[in-house]
């Protein structure tokens, strides 16, 4: 093998470094107008009156639209609850109420300021706890009329968007048998994806069809959602993708596309829309804030007899794809550890806050945070070494999750623990540390260590690729798979095709997505591109290879079986002067039977499971699992409460690293993002509004704040994957909060069960310890 396993350069790398790459926000077309949204200034209220007449008369303005002017039915991915414009009531601060079209963005902005609105403010439902409390005001009075995708019953009721559960019925009995019950509550805030390029759309309406140019992770989703919102056939819509300035899940659903499309049709002119940076941040589909409660019934020997898990998370004002995230607790609990029996309840609530949504590792970081903080808590209460207790409790191959699906290769996790141990030997000093508390007067740093494990999935959804052999021997991959920066398309897919056809990846180019041209692809989500789109590329290229050999066999008058392809040359084995270039073969084919082109599709088949074991799930299985162990050593400054990550080690199972540098980039990036979530970033909500209004106070960490991240890639080829590849990009973010909180708790000798672990929170915890000890 040559192309696979090599650190092939990205095909978009040089253009991006040189500034030549055209991102969505850079686009311009002739006769283009600009639109901006007028957004709700308050978190909740009744709209009494909107007067757009002054805005309409404003300089350079072409059109002003509000909910009354258009078809404004509710739509959505999972729950059909979201109107384009708020009309009667405001559900969150920043909700679109009207749009203005003008010659320039500045003129549109000026006109926005002339829209008059009268609102009767009402007290916002600011937290899920408040939303779910009896008698709470309904965020959406008409919730009972909202449709759902496929008519699935997510258990919605009032402010509850979804209630998903699994209850085998034997949990209470197990608690009665327990020697010991350990209980914890773990809470986590929102996290903003913090990509560089704000959401944008450039729409035209021509000859009865809409074309929308985007920088979007999932162009086919845009097509399908536009069809739903505009109430037009999917075939009346074409989505064309461009370079994406980051997304991390925030660009998986509709953003500005529908507004731009509606306005393009109304004005007969191309409409470009781009959010301002602060507007983007305040309305982005952040990772949801959540509170997880776990109760474990234990025997004195450490056996877990049962676990009772309750997850409550904040959907914000609309559901987005929330029920998908709400399904994930079923795979994060009672999965890698033996916990006897388990009852899991997952509830998602509407609040008057910006709707939350997909973010790398959807739901995983806080679910694993809770699970692994809880494991530490149990070990500490039992007086057991925290690593040893995990190993003793870890399940083995074939262990079944709550959905009845077996984790066939769970022993990879045992291996991962061993590999981490070999790199960074565990030394649990937790107990001595507490005795040393009083030496911190001198400001000596407190040291701690943490470990955590997780299983993650590879998103199974469909992908198709067409592979064309050009008459010069070059390969073009036509796909709607998107590369939001990972290199999965710009290196991975090219390497897979190159390997399969025996040529260098330099000869393989890949298209930008275009829904009119490429087959369906479920977008850049859940680490699926290399595995699923890669498999489609592999299958299509295999067919191209078959046709090359067939054509060449005729030309060389040799048997197909005797042919081999090396460096773009088809040879007859053992006959050095009998050869043809791929170009010659392609040329001959084109002018005889037709060009050599092949298309293939792949969807991961659902693993065997029992749908009766869970209720309300949006997806029922955990396909192509990958295994992860993280270890961190931290230093805590007892004077300032600042946490420094001294060492970070990961063993991650990836199936096969098609491009090791690219995989490392994803692993390191995910950890960096996880560290931001755990130690620095803030998206606090007060009265339904974000407290930190911009990046100045948001506190995104910088390169200089990052520790060195030591990565051990575990290769364990997956037969269904192209050359054995599984998903690798998402999961490194998942265990980070858990492992850091475990290490900090160890360092200071007091539990840290919520994040972000700000210096102040650390001092609070240290102080509560002093008080606890003295009285």
Partner 1 sequence: MQFCRAQSLDAALEYLAEWGADGCLLAGGTDVMVRYNKSEIAPGAIIHIEGIEPLSLITTHGRTTIGALNTHRGLAGDAAIAARHPAMASAARLVGGWQTQAVGTLGGNICNASPAADLAPPLLVADAHVTLASMRGERRLPLDEFFIDRRVTARRADELLTTIDLEPLPEGSAEVYLKLGRRGAMDVAIAGLAVRLSLQEDGSVGAARVAVCSLAATPRRVPEAEALLLGARLEDDALAAAGQALAGAVSPIDDARGTASYRRRVLPGLLARAARQCGEEARQ
Report the alpha-carbon distance of residue 243 to residue 66 in Å, rounded: 31
Q: Which of residues 701, 707, 710, 716 is near partner 1 by CB under 8 A?
A: 701
Report the alpha-carbon distance of residue 69 to residue 264 in Å, rounded: 14
Which is it for the CA torsion 714, 720, 724, 728, positive or negative?
negative
For partner 1, the binding residues in 437-476 under the rule CB under 8 A are 441-443
The H or E element containing residue 734 is none
Question: Which window, 109-117, 554-562, 578-586, 636-644, contacts partner 1 (CB under 8 A)?
Answer: 636-644
For the beta carbon of residue 688, count every other beta carbon within 10 angstroms. 23
Contacting residues for 595 by C-beta, under 8 A, at least 6 apart = 468, 469, 471, 586, 589
Binding mask 549-588 for partner 1 (x = CB under 8 A): ----------------------------------------
Residue (382 or 761) nearer to partner 1, CB: 761
Q: Which of residues 575, 702, 708, 773 is near partner 1 by CB under 8 A?
A: 702
Residue (187 or 692) nearer to partner 1, CB: 692
Binding mask 384-423 for partner 1 (x = CB under 8 A): ----------------------------------------
We find the least distance from the C-beta atom of residue 757 to partner 1, in angstroms, to be: 11
Question: Which window, 62-70, 426-434, 436-444, 446-454, contacts partner 1 (CB under 8 A)?
Answer: 436-444
Residue (607 or 638) nearer to partner 1, CB: 638
Residue (176 or 438) nearer to partner 1, CB: 438
H helices of 436-516, where? 494-501
Q: What residues are paired with 617 via a beta bridge?
A: none
We find the least distance from the C-beta atom of residue 687 to partner 1, in angstroms, to be: 16
We find the least distance from the C-beta atom of residue 440 to partner 1, in angstroms, to be: 9
- Give Rg (Cα) of the chain: 27
Report the alpha-carbon distance of residue 184 to residue 432 in Å, rounded: 24
For partner 1, the binding residues in 704-723 under the rule CB under 8 A are 704-705
Report the alpha-carbon distance of residue 240 to residue 482 in Å, rounded: 11
Q: Which of residues 293, 560, 642, 647 is near partner 1 by CB under 8 A?
A: 642
The CA dihedral of 19, 23, 25, 31, to the nearest 10 degrees, is 100
Residue (53 or 768) nearer to partner 1, CB: 768
Question: Which window, 163-171, 172-180, 622-630, 690-698, contacts partner 1 (CB under 8 A)?
Answer: 690-698
We find the least distance from the C-beta atom of residue 115 to partner 1, in angstroms, to be: 20
Residue with tokens 């575990």: 714
Reference 474, options 533, 421, 544; nearest CA is 544
We find the least distance from the C-beta atom of residue 328 to partner 1, in angstroms, to be: 30
Q: Which of residues 590, 699, 710, 716 is near partner 1 by CB under 8 A?
A: 699
Contacting residues for 351 by C-beta, under 8 A, at least 6 apart = 124, 125, 126, 127, 128, 130, 131, 139, 159, 314, 315, 316, 317, 688
We find the least distance from the C-beta atom of residue 692 to partner 1, in angstroms, to be: 6
Residue (578 or 706) nearer to partner 1, CB: 706
For the beta carbon of residue 80, count every other beta carbon within 10 angstroms. 18
Angle between helices 219-230 and 257-267 (to 10 degrees): 50
We find the least distance from the C-beta atom of residue 638 to partner 1, in angstroms, to be: 7
Residue (121 or 278) nearer to partner 1, CB: 278
Residue with tokens 């592999």: 538
We find the least distance from the C-beta atom of residue 766 to partner 1, in angstroms, to be: 10
Residue (306 or 744) nearer to partner 1, CB: 744
Using CB under 8 A as the binding rule, whether residue 105 contacts partner 1 is answered as no
Where in 40-115 does DSSP place strands (E)?
A: 45-51, 61-66, 89-90, 96-102
Where in 52-139 does DSSP place strands (E)?
A: 61-66, 89-90, 96-102, 116-121
Residue (603 or 692) nearer to partner 1, CB: 692
Question: Which window, 9-17, 223-231, 727-735, 757-765, contacts partner 1 (CB under 8 A)?
Answer: 757-765
We find the least distance from the C-beta atom of residue 699 to partner 1, in angstroms, to be: 6
We find the least distance from the C-beta atom of residue 590 to partner 1, in angstroms, to be: 54
We find the least distance from the C-beta atom of residue 28 to partner 1, in angstroms, to be: 24
Using CB under 8 A as the binding rule, whether residue 641 contacts partner 1 is answered as yes
Instruction: Find the angle CA(88)-CA(90)-CA(93) to the nearest 5 degrees.
Output: 160
Question: Which window, 276-284, 358-366, 651-659, 753-761, contacts partner 1 (CB under 8 A)?
Answer: 753-761
Contacts with partner 1 by CB under 8 A: the residue count is 22
Residue (615 or 698) nearer to partner 1, CB: 698
Using CB under 8 A as the binding rule, whether residue 279 contacts partner 1 is answered as no
Q: How far is CA 255 from CA 260, 318, 614, 690, in A?
A: 10, 14, 32, 20
Residue (382 or 700) nearer to partner 1, CB: 700
Using CB under 8 A as the binding rule, whether residue 639 contacts partner 1 is answered as yes
For the beta carbon of residue 617, count every other beta carbon within 10 angstroms. 24
Residue (246 or 759) nearer to partner 1, CB: 759
Question: Which window, 142-150, 308-316, 617-625, 701-709, contacts partner 1 (CB under 8 A)?
Answer: 701-709
Contacting residues for 534 by C-beta, under 8 A, at least 6 apart = 488, 492, 493, 496, 658, 721, 722, 725
Using CB under 8 A as the binding rule, whether residue 638 contacts partner 1 is answered as yes
Binding mask 131-170 for partner 1 (x = CB under 8 A): ----------------------------------------
C-alpha neighbours within 13 Å on the C-beta side of residue 410? 21
Q: Which of residues 697, 708, 717, 768 is near partner 1 by CB under 8 A?
A: 697
Strands 643-655 and 709-715: parallel
DSSP code, position 205? E
Report the alpha-carbon distance of residue 96 to residue 126 in Å, rounded: 19
The H or E element containing residue 157 is none
Residue (610 or 684) nearer to partner 1, CB: 684
Q: Say if CB 736 and CB 365 are below 8 A apart.
A: yes
Using CB under 8 A as the binding rule, whether residue 691 contacts partner 1 is answered as yes
Q: Say if CB 563 and CB 573 are below 8 A apart.
A: yes
We find the least distance from the C-beta atom of residue 272 to partner 1, in angstroms, to be: 23
Using CB under 8 A as the binding rule, whether residue 276 contacts partner 1 is answered as no
Q: Which of residues 73, 760, 770, 773 is near partner 1 by CB under 8 A?
A: 760
Strand, coil or helix: what is 212?
Answer: strand
We find the least distance from the C-beta atom of residue 756 to partner 1, in angstroms, to be: 10
We find the least distance from the C-beta atom of residue 13 to partner 1, in angstroms, to be: 24
Report the alpha-carbon distance of residue 515 to residue 537 in Å, rounded: 17
Binding mask 669-688 for partner 1 (x = CB under 8 A): -----------x--------
H helices of 625-758, where? 660-675, 695-698, 736-748
For the beta carbon of residue 116, count every other beta carbon within 10 angstroms. 11
We find the least distance from the C-beta atom of residue 61 to partner 1, in angstroms, to be: 22
Binding site for partner 1 (CB under 8 A): 441-443, 638-642, 680, 691-692, 696-697, 699, 701-702, 704-705, 758-760, 763
């Amino acid at each position: 093998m040559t192309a696979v396993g090599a650190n092939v350069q990205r095909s978009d790398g040089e253009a991006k470094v040189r500034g030549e790459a055209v991102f969505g926000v850079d686009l311009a077309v002739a006769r283009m107008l600009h639109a901006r949204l007028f957004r709700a200034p308050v978190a909740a209220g009744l709209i009494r009156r909107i007067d757009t007449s002054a805005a309409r008369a404003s300089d350079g303005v072409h059109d002003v639209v509000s909910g009354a002017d258009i078809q404004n039915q509710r739509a959505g991915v999972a729950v059909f609850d979201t109107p384009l414009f708020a009309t009667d009531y405001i559900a969150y601060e920043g909700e679109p109420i009207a749009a203005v079209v003008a010659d320039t963005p500045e003129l549109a902005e000026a006109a926005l300021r002339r829209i008059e609105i009268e609102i009767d403010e009402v007290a916002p439902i600011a937290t899920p706890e408040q939303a779910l409390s009896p008698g709470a005001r309904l965020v959406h009075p008409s919730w009972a009329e909202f449709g759902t995708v496929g008519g699935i019953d997510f258990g919605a009721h009032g402010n509850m968007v979804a209630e998903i559960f699994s209850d085998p019925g034997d949990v209470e009995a197990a608690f009665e048998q327990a020697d010991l019950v350990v209980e914890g509550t773990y809470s986590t805030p929102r996290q903003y994806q913090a990509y560089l390029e704000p959401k944008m759309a450039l729409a035209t309406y021509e000859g009865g069809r809409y074309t929308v140019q985007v920088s979007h992770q999932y162009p086919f989703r845009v097509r399908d959602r536009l069809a739903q919102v505009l109430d037009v056939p999917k075939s009346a819509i074409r989505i064309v993708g461009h370079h994406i300035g980051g997304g991390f899940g925030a660009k998986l659903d509709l953003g500005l596309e529908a507004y731009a499309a509606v306005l393009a049709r109304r004005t007969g002119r191309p409409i470009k829309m781009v959010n301002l940076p602060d507007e983007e941040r305040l309305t982005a589909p952040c990772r949801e804030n959540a509170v997880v409660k776990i109760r474990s019934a234990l025997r004195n020997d450490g056996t877990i007899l049962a676990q009772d898990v309750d997850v409550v998370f904040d959907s914000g004002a609309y559901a987005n794809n929330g029920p998908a995230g709400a399904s994930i607790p079923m795979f994060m609990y009672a999965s890698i550890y033996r916990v006897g029996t388990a009852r899991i309840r997952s509830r998602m609530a509407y609040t008057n806050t910006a709707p939350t949504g997909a973010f790398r590792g959807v739901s995983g970081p806080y679910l694993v945070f809770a699970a692994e903080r809880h494991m530490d808590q149990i070990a500490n209460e039992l007086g057991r070494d925290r690593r040893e207790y995990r190993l003793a409790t870890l399940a083995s191959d074939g262990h079944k999750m709550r959905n009845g699906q077996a984790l066939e290769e769970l022993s990879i996790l045992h291996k991962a623990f061993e590999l981490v141990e070999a790199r960074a030997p565990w030394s649990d000093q937790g107990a001595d540390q507490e005795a040393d508390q009083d030496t911190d007067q001198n400001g000596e740093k407190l040291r701690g260590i943490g470990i955590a494990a997780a299983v993650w999935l590879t998103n199974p959804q469909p992908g198709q690729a067409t592979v064309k052999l050009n008459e010069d021997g070059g390969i073009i991959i036509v796909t709607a798979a998107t590369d939001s920066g990972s290199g999965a398309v710009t290196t991975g897919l090219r390497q897979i095709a190159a390997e399969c056809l025996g040529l260098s990846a330099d000869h393989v180019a890949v298209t930008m997505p275009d829904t009119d041209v490429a087959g369906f692809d479920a977008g850049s989500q859940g680490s699926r591109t290399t595995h699923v789109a890669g498999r489609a590329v592999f299958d299509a290229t295999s067919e191209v290879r078959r046709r090359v050999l067939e054509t060449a066999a005729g030309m060389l008058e040799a048997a197909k079986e005797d042919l081999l392809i090396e460096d773009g040359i088809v040879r007859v084995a053992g006959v050095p002067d009998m050869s043809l270039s791929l170009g010659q073969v392609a040329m001959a084919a084109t002018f005889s039977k037709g060009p050599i082109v092949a298309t293939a599709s792949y969807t991961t088949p659902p693993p065997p499971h029992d749908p009766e074991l869970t209720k309300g799930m949006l997806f029922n299985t955990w396909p192509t699992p990958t295994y992860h162990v993280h270890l961190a050593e931290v230093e805590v400054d007892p004077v300032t409460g600042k946490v420094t990550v001294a060492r970070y080690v990961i063993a991650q199972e990836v199936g096969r690293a098609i491009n090791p540098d690219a995989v490392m980039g994803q692993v390191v990036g995910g950890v960096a993002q996880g560290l931001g979530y755990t130690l620095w970033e803030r998206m606090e909500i007060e009265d339904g509004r974000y407290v930190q209004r911009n990046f100045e106070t948001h506190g995104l960490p910088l390169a200089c704040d990052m520790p060195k991240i030591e990565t051990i890639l575990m290769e364990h080829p997956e037969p269904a994957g192209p050359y054995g590849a599984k998903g690798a990009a998402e999961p490194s973010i998942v265990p980070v909060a858990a492992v850091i909180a475990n290490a900090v708790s160890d360092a200071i000798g007091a539990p840290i069960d919520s994040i972000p672990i700000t210096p102040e929170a650390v001092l609070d915890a240290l102080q509560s310890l002093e008080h606890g000890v003295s009285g």
